Amino acid sequence: MAGSSHGHTPAAWTGVMIAFVGFCVSGAFMVMAQPAGFWAGMGIVVVGGVVGWIMSAMGMGQPKDAHKDFQEALAQSQAAAGATKS
């Protein structure tokens, strides 16, 4: 997946960071036995997913055909490597 830049977009980073903050908030309030704070943190996690999705829809995510392009480039490089070994 590293070759296809999977997840290396502003939408992915922003969504994950917001969700991570929500996870930390929920964890802290769970230890403090405060259900309202826990659910507020879970709400932040959901907001992170929504923000990532919206940013992706705005064009800040990975292009729809990126995986197909990566697979084609990989097949070509493997074919070239196979041709040089023979």
Of the candidates 41, 40, 34, the residue with the CA atom closest to the CA atom of residue 20: 41
The per-residue pLDDT for 32 is 96
The per-residue pLDDT for 69 is 67
Q: Residue 36: which residues within 8 A CB-CB, separation 6 or more?
A: 29
pTM of the model: 0.69
The per-residue pLDDT for 34 is 95
Task: Provide the residue-wise pLDDT of the chain in tens; the chain has 86 residues.
Answer: 555 556 678 888 999 999 999 999 999 999 999 999 999 999 999 999 999 999 988 888 877 666 666 677 777 888 877 766 65
Q: What is the spatial distance between Cα 86 and Cα 68, in angstroms, rounded to a whole number?
A: 27
Radius of gyration of the chain (CA): 20
